[in-house]
Every structure is written in structure tokens, then in C-alpha cells.
Amino acid sequence: MRALLAAFATLGVLLLGLAPAATASGTDGPATTPVTAAGTEASGSEAGGTGETYVIGTDTTFAPFEFRQGGDLVGIDIDLMEAIAEDQGFEVEWRSLGFNAALQALDSNQVDGVIAGMSITEERQEVYDFSEPYFTGTVTLAVNEGDESEISDWEDLAGKQVVVKTGSISEEVANERQDEIGFEVTALDQTTTLVESVKSGNADALIDDYPVIAYGVQQGSGLVTVGEQVEAGDYGFAVNQGQNPELLEKFNTGLQELRASGEYDEILNEYLGAEDDGVDPSSFWGLIVTSLPSLLNGLGNTLLVTGISFVLAMVLGLAFGFMKIARNPVLRGIAVTFISIFRGTPILVWAFFFYFGLPPLIGVPVNIWVAGVMTLTFNGAAYIAEIVRGAVQSVDPGQAEASRSLGLGHGKTMQRVVLPQAFKMMTPSLINQLVIMLKDSSLLLAIGFAELLYQAQQIYAANFRVTEVLLIAALLYFIAITALTQLANYVDRKVNR
């Protein structure tokens, strides 16, 4: 039995070993992002190195202003802020939080400033101080490649189906023009959904922020922008009202310098210019080249979180499995309760609970890795406990009787006679459970854990190539699971001759 336990430990360690190899591709990889997203130590400004360090909040994915490329946070906002920081001699510590969360963090002074492709509006000016506008937003019309002859400007929308983003400036623009031109408007919640609606033919055109759509076009989304762009307000960098005035001043001064030096145009051009240098990202090969680093990074996190959770779930599962067949009714009760709770509730509930629900109860923020591992471990342990119980009980009782008749005690009988046979029987189920856990780890994307599917989502949220990115992600899962199954079966054959 020791050999078997060792084999499973080896398998776990192998998983852990594989993970860093896959993670090595990105330096400031998304593995760390959710950790920061957990807001473990949004501490405010600190003196560090040569200049001040400011904590700046931003959105997770709002390409081309902020998004992840090869695991690194990039975009117009990011590049601009870093160029200004360099120019003005301060350091930036990024918090990739999501738009609303970033503003909430600003409200509570957990971040010093927010740059997130945010329009300067009157309401916002009541609570925040804004910098000079660093970008003038426009709204554009976009159609499928090939349809631009049919719909070349706003007037051609007569009688067409148009999709817009709920609650955005694009919706306002659409509503203003709807009656005059005469088109149908449907409001959807995400840019990705808008793009998919047009690509699938459910809608004829979309109206959305120009930079977002233009970046997608550059990345091969299959759409083209048409018609005249409509001005939709200025974007500004914000600090909390009355806070960090010197930061605001540095931003304004730096922005002026960048505009003067031409660096500002360079940054914009990099994200909005028609052609990217190097690999053409619009080809499938280009997509693989640009997205693979983040996806492998995500795969690394997937393997790591699965590996850690499986090892812990084995320990817990063995414990609860034995408790469930113990003679002591208290132990049995504990095991039965644990197993029925975690088998009887969806895994997502626990992911949310450990990440969002637990911190208020214990008064300490929960690291996303801890929350993810707890979720997978407890769920897995409940199933492994049942596998263990089933396997132990399926060993012929005559085996234990023979061992007891030789004078071996209960413990030695379990250890030398019953468990080795039970392990042999449970191995296929355990391998199956491992595969299930690896697949279930994708659910952790719901709390922002940067595993494989989360990375895929981040990529297609920026370039709108949903189908291709999902296919690549599925292929990576498939390869990983197949390799793991082969490995596990090999170990099984070696150990359970």
C-alpha cells in the first residue's frame, strides 16, 4: 500500500512539476493577477526606490485600453500610464480589478487612481477629480467583412437589425438615430456578444466604442468599421476627490510631454493602427502565436491547482472514507455530514463562498489560490471518500477474517491485507476523479482564477475570435487530460501488477 500511496503522491508532484514549466512563459503572469485582484494588500501609496509608488486600479479586459497579452497587462491605458510614470519619476503598482471594482477601490482609497477607458461625465466629476482628457472616445458602426458595400454608412441601416451595448453611449447614439433612419435596436450586455451576433447573422450591424472594435478588427475579428464615427466623450484618469492632487498633476504634465514628444501617437498607433508588425495576428497561426503564451500560462495554473487539490483531496478523502466505515458513530457522523454536504451542492457555490462569502465571516481576505484549492479539494475529497469506502467494503470479508485469524490486529489487517487490495480496485476511479477535478478547475474562472479557460475568455474578450480561441483551449485541455490519463494508467500498471 505504501508503494501505491507513493505512486499517487508522485502523480501529484508530477502535476505540480508540469505546472511551472507551462507557467514559465509569462513573467508577470495572470497567476499573480487574481491574487492581487483579491485585494490582499491594497495598501495605498508607499515610498519605494527612487520615486513614489502609486497603486493604480484598472479594468480586467477592455481592449485596447487594458488587456492581457502573453500574460502581461498591456494596452493604451497601461502603456500611457507607464510612459508618464517613467517621465515623471514614479512607480506604478497595477491592480487589475474590473471596472466597477476599480471604482469601488478608489472610493475606499485602496487604490490611488483609476485609469480604465473611463469617460469623463458630470456624475463622476462629483466624486472624482479627473485629469485632462487623454483620449477622445468615438462610437463606430461595424459590419461583417464583405457587407461594407451594402452598409457603408448610417443611412444604410434603414430596416436593419442593429445591436448595441446596454447602458453605454452606443445605446444612446442608436436611440437618437433610430427613428430618423428607421432600424431595429437590440441591447446586449457584452461587446463579445455584439460581435458574435453580427458574425452569426442575427444582427446586421453593431454600434460600439471605436477603439474596442478597431482593435478587434486588427486582431482578425472578421468585422470592418464603416461610416462616420460619432464623438462620445473624453476619457480621463481619475483620483478620489481631494486625494493625490500631486499624482493628477504629474499625469497632466507627463501627458503633455508625451504628446509633444510624439510618444503618445506611437502608443495609440500600436493598438489602433491597421497593421501590426511581425506575425499577422488575424491569421489562425498568428492567433496561436499571440494567444499561446497566455493559454499555456493558464494551463500551468490549471495543472498546479488541480495537482495541489488532488493531493489534499486524497488525504482528506482517505480520512473521511475510513471514518465512514469506522465503528465510532461520531466519526461516522462527521464523515457522512461532510460527504453529503459537498456531494449535495454545486462546486460553483463553494467557489463563490470561499472567495466572496468567507472573508466577511473571518475578517481576512482569502487568497484566490486558497479559495480555489479549498473548492476543488473539498469537492474532490467527498467523492474520493466514497471511492475509498466503496473499495474497502468491496474487499472480500474473508480476507480480513483470514488475517485476523492469524492474530493480526485490526490496524495491521487493514494495512497489509485489506487496503492494498482496495487501492488496486479504486485506482481506476481515482484516475477518473483526477480527470474530473482537472475539468472542474475551469469553473474557478467564475471567481477570476487565471486558469486555462479564464485566459481563453480574456483573449476572445479582446479579439472576439471566440470559436478559434475556445477550440485551442479545448485542444489544450484534451492534450493535458490524455497525457495525464496515460501517465496514471502507466503508474497503475507499474504498481498494481
Partner 1 sequence: MSTATTDNSGGRVVGERVMVDVQGLEKSFGDNHVLTGITDQIREREVVCVIGPSGSGKSTFLRCLNRLEEATSGTVQVGDYDLTDPQVDINKVRRHIGMVFQQFNLFPHMTVAENIMLAPVELGNLTKPEARKRAEELLDRVGLADKADARPASLSGGQKQRVAIARSLAMSPKIMLFDEATSALDPEMVGEVLQVIRDLAAEGMTMVLVTHEMGFAREVADRVLFMDGGKIVESGTPSEIFDHPQQPRLQEFLSKVL
Binding residues for partner 1 (CB under 8 A): 396, 398-399, 401-409, 412, 416-417, 420-421, 424
Q: Which is nearer to partner 1, 379 or 403 (CB)?
A: 403
Q: Which is nearer to partner 1, 146 or 411 (CB)?
A: 411
State the amino acid at position 332 in one-letter form.
R
Q: Which is nearer to partner 1, 10 or 399 (CB)?
A: 399
Question: Cβ contacts of residue 277 below 8 Å, gap of 6+?
Answer: none
CA distance 229 to 213: 12
In whole angstroms, the minimum distance from the beta carbon of 490 to partner 1 comes to 19
Q: Which is nearer to partner 1, 231 or 396 (CB)?
A: 396
Question: Around Cβ 86, how many Cβ atoms within 10 Å?
Answer: 15
Q: Which is nearer to partner 1, 233 or 420 (CB)?
A: 420
In whole angstroms, the minimum distance from the beta carbon of 29 to partner 1 comes to 45
In whole angstroms, the minimum distance from the beta carbon of 413 to partner 1 comes to 10
Q: Which is nearer to partner 1, 180 or 396 (CB)?
A: 396
Q: Using CB atoms within 10 Å of the CB of residue 301, give its burial: 0 to 12 exposed, 13 to 18 middle, 19+ buried.
A: buried
Q: Which is nearer to partner 1, 124 or 424 (CB)?
A: 424
**How does strand 113-114 pair with strand 52-58?**
parallel
Q: Please give the backbone phi and psi of residue 353, each rounded to the nearest 5 degrees, phi first.
A: -60, -50
Question: Cβ contacts of residue 129 below 8 Å, gap of 6+?
Answer: 238, 239, 240, 241, 242, 243, 245, 248
In whole angstroms, the minimum distance from the beta carbon of 497 to partner 1 comes to 9
In whole angstroms, the minimum distance from the beta carbon of 335 to partner 1 comes to 26
Q: Which is nearer to partner 1, 200 or 328 (CB)?
A: 328
CA distance 425 to 343: 22
- Judge contact between 46 and 106, C-beta under 8 A: no
* Helix %, strand %, coil % of the chain (to 5): 60, 15, 25
Q: Which is nearer to partner 1, 278 or 497 (CB)?
A: 497
Give the Cα-Cα-Cα angle 162, 163, 164 (nearest 5 degrees).
125
In whole angstroms, the minimum distance from the beta carbon of 328 to partner 1 comes to 17
Nearest to 312 by CA among 381, 405, 212, 216: 381
- Judge contact between 338 and 320, C-beta under 8 A: yes
In whole angstroms, the minimum distance from the beta carbon of 311 to partner 1 comes to 24
* Residue 144, SS3 per DSSP: strand
Q: Which is nearer to partner 1, 329 or 397 (CB)?
A: 397
Question: Cβ contacts of residue 443 below 8 Å, gap of 6+?
Answer: 347, 348, 351, 375
CA distance 434 to 199: 38
Question: Around Cβ 126, how many Cβ atoms within 10 Å?
Answer: 8
Question: Around Cβ 268, how many Cβ atoms within 10 Å?
Answer: 17
In whole angstroms, the minimum distance from the beta carbon of 395 to partner 1 comes to 10
Q: Using CB atoms within 10 Å of the CB of residue 264, give its burial: 0 to 12 exposed, 13 to 18 middle, 19+ buried.
A: buried
Question: Around Cβ 13, how many Cβ atoms within 10 Å?
Answer: 12
- Judge contact between 30 and 450, C-beta under 8 A: yes
Q: Which residue has the cell 510618444?
A: 263
Q: Which is nearer to partner 1, 235 or 423 (CB)?
A: 423
In whole angstroms, the minimum distance from the beta carbon of 458 to partner 1 comes to 49
Distance of CA 169 to the CA centre of its chain: 27
In whole angstroms, the minimum distance from the beta carbon of 27 to partner 1 comes to 49
In whole angstroms, the minimum distance from the beta carbon of 43 to partner 1 comes to 57
Q: Which is nearer to partner 1, 157 or 395 (CB)?
A: 395
In whole angstroms, the minimum distance from the beta carbon of 310 to partner 1 comes to 24
- Which cell numbers in the block locate residue 360? 466577511
